[in-house]
Structure 1
Amino acid sequence: MSRLPFYLIVGLLLVAGVALSVHRHVQFEVPWTPGEQREVWEVESQITFTATGDAPVLVDMALPTNQRGFRLLTENTASPGYGLSFVQENGGRRAQWSIREAVGSQQLYYTAQFLVAPGSRPPEISPPPLREDIVWERPYDTAAVQVIERAWGRSANSFTFARELIRDFGDERQGENARLLLTQYERGPLLVRLLNQAGVPAREVSGLLLEDGRRRQSLMTWVQVFDDDEWTLFDPRSGEQGHPDNLLLWESTGQAVLEVQGGTNSGVTFSMLTHNQPAAAAVRNQLDEDSLLNFSIHSLPLEDQALFQTILLIPIGALVVVLLRVLVGIKTSGTFMPVLIALAFIQTTLVTGLVGFLLVVAVGLVIRNYLSYLNLLLVARVTAVIITVIAIISAFSVLSYRFGLNAGLTITFFPMIILSWTIERMSILWEEEGPKQVLIQGGGSLVTAILAYLAMNNPWIRHITFNFLGVQLILMAMILLLGNYTGYRLLELRRFKPVTED
């Protein structure tokens, strides 16, 4: 029979598992190792104004979104007495505070956390429509045409034209036409008007330069210039081209940053701090909705996440059992009983779990030996063993508490049904094949459980299995390959020792 379909399935599982894991690491920046740190900026904006008291108050402020270099994690507001809603307008997000009656000085707060994500791609932005209603009064119309013609002759595309135009308004190259225009218009709106008149899509955007520990900072104006589907930022003051690494675009649609109705003397200032936090926590706090390719346990409630964090370790223990039984040849009492015992060791710690396991099994075997003289039916006998195991665990827990050994209380984490079947199997094995086989299988079970515990309790493995579900497909492929092994087991090679001696 051809093995090609089998190897195709194994190959598909490996490719799918690796692809899902790499995609989650690259696209969503989930770290490969535990303990990695990520830089997070916490930015607080304070809105101040004076409510007139003769009309309802409506405060409308632009909000930042995910962008190149930064990803929005969390956002909070402090606005007692105000209604608050988040709306989408003209491709941007805005916060709207409202109240019927307010008088005097008012303060509103908005706080957001941003994850520094250098590899994140900027969202797709549509170029703004060219303004066709540009009208210049005399003599500014002539000055504008001459400034445009001068910069146009020294440029090759929209970006170089914008750079030359901005430099013509700098102190070093500023001519009479530029000085005349600056007496009537602000630099930022003036540059946008000139670029639009030359047929170059552009608009003003507002950004915040992030510096640790700064307070009462204001937004700065930048000019966003488009050339087909590409865009870049220009500093209207210096003409520098590009997006600074510490620039957080607060408003990127060309709208007003803050609008206040029913109040006067409005303004907004910003304070900022930076700190590091574990990368896994930063990923969990991301506001991105889970998609099919971002299928993760993090979308579940925390209680369910804690449960799955343990469940996802079971395939690791199963892989250890398969390796030891198929390749090494270790005999165990029950196929996957060591995995369940290893799970109990995770809750009890290794030393406490080993002592508790040996005590329960030893006492259980003594009581099971007595039950064998009663000639009970199998179901009744196993049920009696289960009740006996529960009684033993209860007695050990009470005694541990009375003697102040709180670690002994964790013995309740042992799977009682599995312990009962283990005692039953060992007792039958003792009767049929003697104590030697009991020691071999019992010792093999303990060795396997300890190795499975060491693998499942490794911080790196716990991190990988919980954050990358594609690893489960890789484990499945490995177990299928091991299941196809038909060679000698390691412990069977000792049969050939006399041959090597001869």
Structure 2
Amino acid sequence: MGNRLKIYIISAVLIAIGLGIFLYKHLELYIPLVPHEQVTAWTIDAQVDFTADANLPPNVQLALPYLTPNFRVLDETFASPGYGTAETTTGANRTLLWSKRRARGDQSLLYRAVVVSRPGEAAFSEGTVLPPPVPDYPEHFRYTAMALLDEARAQSADIQTFAVQLLARLFQEPMREDVKFLMDSARTETEKTERAVYILAGARIPARVLLGLTLDKSSRYQQLEPLLQVHNGEAWLTFDPQTGAQGLPENFFTWTVGSTNVLDTDHVYRPRLAFSVTSNIYDADHVLAQEREKATNVLEKISLTNLPVNLQNVYRLLLLVPLGALVIVILRNIVGLSTTGTFSPALLALSFRETGFLAGVLLFISVIGIGLTMRLYLEKLQLLVVPRIAAVVCIVIMMIMVLSLMSHGAGFQTGLSVALFPIVILAWMIERMSIVWEEEGPRAVFSEGVGTLIAASLVYAVIMQPQVQYLVFYFPELLLVVLGCMILLGRYTGYRLMELRRFRSLGD
């Protein structure tokens, strides 16, 4: 395998891994692509009001959300002064028990959940579900139910179409006489859906009721709505019992699965359960931070935002260095721009972030100009290389100190940031320019100096983009893409753009 093919394979693997992780974090973990993106979160309140029995301790048990496809619970709070709480999880449901030794008069308990939409997030178990036994129906109920099941079976091809046909008969308007008999005493939509589950058991089809809330608008008083699920041997299929439409609506927040007993109380009078829903706008970063606290995915847990703030600020700067280096690679290898040093323009651009672009350019010209003059004078003293460079470093530091004092005395704060200039790099650049001056003349020095400023300016323009800074910090795997591009550019041996004019006569 030739080196060229190896480079192509390595670059392709690096780019594929970087882009794969990037797309996964955006599409599956919902990390936004733009800074300060706004997301809608829903606040759901479940309030239980009752009158306590003065002689007996009240117990209130409320079903809580557990399996919530298409949604993720960010935060849960309980407002229950003086009450003890205990959570239990059984199968696909979770309950909260409130209890208190003594209570008098009217009582109010509150459960609040903040949820955010996460379309496509599955939560229902796809395991094996055994067919239920045929219920011991009353004689007349059995005859009518079996006749209705036979009718639906004759006009269906599988469990899915069977459920649709049965629902069309049970919930059609006006209701047939035989269906009225089957639905006798089922008053609410939830009770009717439970009756459908009961009838489906006669065909040995596993079925259950989902209760949930539709989160499409803010509402002070809202009731749990039922959906029907049937199991086809491989997965649970969800239906709207009223319309027969299949699929779980994206705005349907599941509260309980397979259980319609949402509120259970002991030793209380007149218990009432009321739901209210309201929407709020949150910053996506805030939502992600809350999700990360409960995350089980490794990529969700591993994030630079988990580091202390001072380290975060360090990496916000360091992660821009490879990107600046890529810009320099393009400018030198593709464009053919001549600079003083290889990556010193990138480091210079990073210092411009602190000083400001215009002030940074002026400081750079001042320091390089004075330093180059002093370096040429030191040349006349015929010093050795190492002492000469050390002297230049000392001169650069003193110049920076003088500029800081002068700017502070004049009431400007920009000069105080000059200490962030890469001092050693400046000293080396002065040394390099003085050698070029001796070997090639002042024109070459001027050309390299201008090229350095142009390169630093372009790097500065790239790394100062808020979108670029955000992507590099929240998606550091993109550095693998940068690395792959660098390796690919390392094999470029064609003409540079600035050489086209130079060799144009050969083409003629």
Distance 2:411 2:351 in 1: 21
- Could you tell me whether the CA contact under 8 Å between 2:238 and 2:248 is conserved in 1? yes
Amino acid in the other structure paired with 1:160: T
- Bigger shift: residues 307-316 or 192-201: 307-316
- Could you tell me whether the CA contact under 8 Å between 1:167 and 1:173 is conserved in 2? no
Distance 1:317 1:86 in 2: 53
Distance 1:369 1:123 in 2: 77
- Bigger shift: residues 151-160 or 317-326: 151-160
Structure 1 residue aligned with 2:424? 417
Distance 1:286 1:443 in 2: 49
Amino acid in the other structure paired with 2:274: T
- Could you tell me whether the CA contact under 8 Å between 2:134 and 2:202 is conserved in 1? no
Distance 1:327 1:246, change over 3 A: closer
- Could you tell me whether the CA contact under 8 Å between 1:57 and 1:100 is conserved in 2? no
Aligned residue pairs, count:
499
| 1:110 aligns to 2:117 (yes or no) | no
| 1:480 aligns to 2:480 (yes or no) | no
Alignment of 1:27-46 (within 5 A): 27-32=28-33, 38-46=39-47
Give the one of 359, 366, 381 matched to 2:366.
Answer: 359
User: What's the CA shift string for 1:76-128, capped at 9, x where partnerless?
Assistant: 4544555666654313455555666655413223121212x445455444475
Structure 1 residue aligned with 2:256? 251
Distance 1:196 1:470 in 2: 52
User: What's the CA shift string for 1:176-195, capped at 9, x where partnerless?
Assistant: 44333433453232221111
CA RMSD of aligned residues (A): 3.7
Q: Give the secondary-structure state (helix, strand or coil) at the position aligned to 1:216.
A: strand
Structure 1 residue aligned with 2:163? 162
| 1:289 aligns to 2:295 (yes or no) | yes
- Could you tell me whether the CA contact under 8 Å between 1:74 and 1:285 is conserved in 2? yes
Q: Give the secondary-structure state (helix, strand or coil) at the position aligned to 2:216.
A: coil
- Could you tell me whether the CA contact under 8 Å between 1:146 and 1:177 is conserved in 2? no
Give the one of 324, 338, 343 matched to 1:331.
Answer: 338
- Bigger shift: residues 438-447 or 239-248: 239-248
Distance 1:235 1:136 in 2: 25
Q: Give the secondary-structure state (helix, strand or coil) at the position aligned to 1:244.
A: coil
Distance 1:493 1:124, change over 3 A: same
TM-score (norm 2): 0.82
Amino acid in the other structure paired with 1:478: C
Amino acid in the other structure paired with 1:313: L
- Could you tell me whether the CA contact under 8 Å between 1:296 and 1:469 is conserved in 2? no
Give the one of 222, 244, 259 matched to 2:227.
Answer: 222
| TM-fit CA distance, 1:226 | 1.6
Structure 2 residue aligned with 1:193? 198
- Could you tell me whether the CA contact under 8 Å between 1:212 and 1:274 is conserved in 2? yes
Distance 1:467 1:371, change over 3 A: same
Distance 1:471 1:128 in 2: 44
Distance 1:459 1:418 in 2: 27
Structure 1 residue aligned with 2:307? 301
- Could you tell me whether the CA contact under 8 Å between 2:76 and 2:111 is conserved in 1? no
Alignment of 1:50-199 (within 5 A): 50-52=51-53, 54-55=56-57, 57=59, 59-68=61-70, 70-80=71-81, 88-95=89-96, 102-104=103-105, 105-115=107-117, 117-121=118-122, 123-126=124-127, 129-132=130-133, 134-137=135-138, 139-170=140-171, 172=173, 174-185=175-186, 186-199=191-204
Distance 1:269 1:314, change over 3 A: farther
- Could you tell me whether the CA contact under 8 Å between 1:297 and 1:305 is conserved in 2? no
- Bigger shift: residues 337-346 or 168-177: 168-177
Distance 1:66 1:234, change over 3 A: closer
Structure 2 residue aligned with 1:8? 9
Structure 2 residue aligned with 1:449? 456
Give the one of 246, 269, 272 matched to 2:274.
Answer: 269
| TM-fit CA distance, 1:23 | 3.4
- Could you tell me whether the CA contact under 8 Å between 2:67 and 2:123 is conserved in 1? no
Distance 2:425 2:296 in 1: 38
| TM-fit CA distance, 1:333 | 2.1
* Percent identical: 33
Distance 1:98 1:350, change over 3 A: farther
| TM-fit CA distance, 1:391 | 4.3
Structure 2 residue aligned with 1:24? 25
Return 5+ residue gaps in structure 2 as ranges.
none
- Could you tell me whether the CA contact under 8 Å between 2:208 and 2:230 is conserved in 1? yes
Q: Give the secondary-structure state (helix, strand or coil) at the position aligned to 1:206.
A: strand
Distance 1:420 1:258 in 2: 76
Q: Give the secondary-structure state (helix, strand or coil) at the position aligned to 1:13.
A: helix
User: What's the CA shift string for 1:405-432, capped at 9, x where partnerless?
Assistant: 3344433432333333333433454455
Q: Give the secondary-structure state (helix, strand or coil) at the position aligned to 1:335.
A: coil
User: What's the CA shift string for 1:458-480, capped at 9, x where partnerless?
Assistant: 34433443344443222222211
Distance 1:389 1:261 in 2: 82
TM-score (norm 1): 0.83
